[in-house]
Structures are given as C-alpha cells and as structure tokens.
Structure 1
C-alpha cells in the first residue's frame, strides 16, 4: 500500500520535475531538471536502487546480526561497498549500521544522477542528497513543535553536493531513543549525516538537551551543520542558514 508522504512537499522545487521510485522498502522522491527528465531516467533510477539493495540484502543473509546491531558493528572482510560505507559512517557516529542505510542509498542514487542533470535532489524517508546550481530552500518539519513549518534551510550552490538528513523521536517510524521533534544534520556524506542524525537524536531525553545534541554533532569530523528541535527549544551550529518558511 502506498503511503502519501506529505512532508515531501517541504523539499520539492518548482523548477524541477519530481518523480517517485519504489523498490522494496526504498521509497525515493527525486527531482531533476525538466529538460533531463524522461521515462528512461525513471527506469535508470530503478536499476540503480536495485544495484544498491541487492548486495545489501545478500550480505544481510550471510551476516544477519548486521541488520539488528544498534552499536558499531564489525563487518565481514568481503562486504560490498554499500555495507562498508554504512558501517564506517555508523562507527564514526557510534550507532548501528542500518542507521545510515537511507542516507547511503540517497547518496549513491544522487551521485549517479548528477551525470544526467546538473540539479538533483533525492529524498529517502527524510534523508536528502542535494546538488544544485541555484539557491535552494528545504522546509523543516518538526511534528507538533511550534517551529514546524516555520523554518527552512537555505542552501547555496557552493555548499553542494550535500547530505541533509533528519531523525525524529516523535515523527515517523525510525528507531530513536530520544524525543527530539527534528534533528537535521548536514554533511557532504549523506550516510554520515544519516548516522549522526540518529546518534544526536538519541541524546535528546528532554527539551533542555538540544544544545548537548548539537555539540555532539559538531564534534564529528565531516559534519558541517546541525539543527536540533525539541518542543519549544532549538539549537543550531555550523554552516547552516535558517530562513522563514
């Protein structure tokens, strides 16, 4: 059954053609330049997603503990590249490798699409890969927080390619040990941004801990920006510009 992801309207860009690709649990919303869109491109993305998922699924059959690990995990020496990417991001962040899966897939799909379109946005369950030749605004959804729908990230072309990944303890089905309404992490590596978003969100046990979560994210090499929202509290760090939504 298809689930309408209304939050997607917060990142869609009017000058791009957006389309969806669904393979198994992977549900992508993709934007490319209008003149670069074609039905063949949709099929190409579907193939790319399968090329990401099949090695990952086959690896999990051989090493099922990888799927359930909630802390950094030692993978097999012959693990495929996507598994190595997820495991390394998770090791840096201090979480299990599946915390990086959505960002890793978004990044891999996005990097291939940049061969076809100079402007690309790939969203995978709230985790985004973005490359742009123009200023972009990405809306922030933070559940019932008073900040929800009122703020957007403004991203300049020189700051892309960029991963923009979101975790929440109150919105969606992703596992979080915290109660943050939104944790947004920026990094050139979407896999790392995804893992650090999870790790930072786990730290937020009450609204007063937003600054602690941001400080943690700031300590991770490769993270360029962090935003944490919990109810009526917000903390921000790094190369990150907020504007009214």
Structure 2
C-alpha cells in the first residue's frame, strides 16, 4: 500500500492505493469532480453560499449528488462537497479496476477495500473516546465515513460534539448528515437521530468528552492511538 498527498486549491486529500497508476486515476477523478463544482458556482454563485437546500438545475452527477444530499439532511449543498469529491476519486479507481482505494478529503473518507481497513477518529482532547478506530470489513462496493466536529478544526458549528462520524454507501449523504448532526448535537440525545429514518445513512458515532455513542449499524470500534501526523492537512 502506498500513501500520497494530493492538493488542489481547497481540496486537500490523502490517497491510499496499491500502485502509482491508481493514485493518478484517483487524482484525475478528484479534479474532474472539483472542476464540476467550480463550474456550477461560476454559473450560479448561490450554490456555493447557500446554507439551505438548493437545486441549480444541473444534470452533472457530482452536482446532483450534492443537491440530493442537501435536501435529505436539510443543509446547503456545499456541506456535501468534500465527501462527494472523495467519492468521485474512488469511483474512478474502481472503474479502472482497483479493488482497494481510500481517499481522505479533510476527514471525509470514501473507500473501497478488499482487506480490513482501520480508520482512526481524532476528536482532539476528548479523552479516551477521542482515540479510537473503526474496523471496516472488506466489501466490493464503495462506502464512506464523514466526520464533523464542533471543537476540532476551523469549521463553525452550532453544537458541542467533539466528533460526529456518519457511515453510508452514499458518501454525499454521509457528509451532509455529519454537518447537520454536528450542528444539532449538544449532548447525546437519541431524539436528534429521528430525522435519519428513511435516509441513506447506516449509522452514526458521536463523541462528547469521555462519552461515545453509536446509532444504527457502525463498524466495530476499537481503542487506537491515533498518529496525528497522518491527519490530512494542507502543505
């Protein structure tokens, strides 16, 4: 397995693959998706600034995924941008014949794996609960986990969760719901997950200090010492 950093403007990623050819395919997939988003914002700037669901009327698959996820989670379409772009990159790898590929786009992760994959969750100073990992089982379809935090990183959040991770085979939905739930959650409250009924989300893990809560179907959670040097950052 090889690891490569790839950055294009605000899209800052880590790509895992079995060979350099798959890395290049992933980069092309990421760029195509990113450029689709840039094009729609040039044509309709409101798409890039709305905090509410909004449909600019595009038939581009990348934009349609963002729009659908926004309406499902009740957020602006850009809340799904990182996960959607990561998804496009891994799709390109799969279409080229890869059976393993991971793209971490700033904490929003799409993956295809033929082996057990350990994905660490970093929740800052959230005690032992902030140092854990998800054991994702091999599968032939692309899946993803997207994480939002009210206490780690520069994002503005109305909640107080140290981390909210959302699992779905629809990575756009996972990204949008991670944002929506992180804005809503100020404590572990099952009622906040009522809106997930009928959504594309499989499960959620939320961390508040030393408390960790899971909802729905999530991978096995194990204790892990997260290597912070592996966190995707700009250079």
TM-score by length of 1: 0.84
Q: Match of 1:8?
A: none
Q: 2:91 aligns with which of 111, 123, 138?
A: 111
Partner of 1:128: 109
**Aligned length, in residue pairs:** 222
The yes-or-no answer on 1:31 pairing with 2:12 is no
Distance in 1 separating the partners of 2:69 and 2:91:
17
The answer to whether the aligner puts 1:90 opposite 2:60 as a matched pair is no
CA distance in structure 2 between the aligned counterparts of 1:188 and 1:58, rounded to whole angstroms: 26
1:142–1:71: structure 2 CA closer, same or farther, 3 Å change rule?
A: same
Q: C-alpha displacement at 1:30, in angstroms?
A: 0.5
1:142-186 deviation digits (Å, cap 9, x = unpaired): 111113553211111138521110001111123322121100000
Q: Determine if the alignment matches structure 1 residue 242 to structure 2 residue 221.
A: yes
Residue 70 of structure 1 corresponds to 51
- Identify which range, 191-200 or 52-61, moves more after superposition: 52-61
Q: CA deviation at 1:44?
A: 3.6
Could you say which structure has the greater relative contact order, defined with CA pairs below 8 angstroms and 6 or more residues apart? 2
Higher deviation after alignment, 94-103 or 77-86: 77-86
SS of structure 1 residue aligned to 2:4 = strand
**Structure 2: gaps spanning 5 or more residues:** 225-235
Indicate whether 1:229 and 2:207 are aligned.
yes
Aligned to 1:6: none
Shift of 1:79: 4.7
Residue 147 of structure 2, aligned match among 161, 166, 169: 166
> What is the TM-score of this pair, normalised by structure 2?
0.87
Give deviations 1:60-115, integer Å, cap 9, x for gaps: 1121111111111132x235221111011010011110000000000000011122
In structure 2, what is the Cα distance between the partners aligned to 1:116 and 1:233?
41
User: In structure 2, what is the equivalent of residue 56 of structure 1?
Assistant: 37
Q: 1:45 aligns with which of 26, 36, 49?
A: 26
Given candidates 170, 187, 190, the residue that maps to 2:168 is: 187
Q: 1:158 to 1:217 in 2, by over 3 A?
A: farther
Distance in 1 separating the partners of 2:212 and 2:221: 12
Q: Which runs of 5+ in 1 are unaligned?
A: 1-15
Instruction: Report the aligned-residue RMSD.
Output: 1.9
Q: Partner residue of 1:211?
A: 190
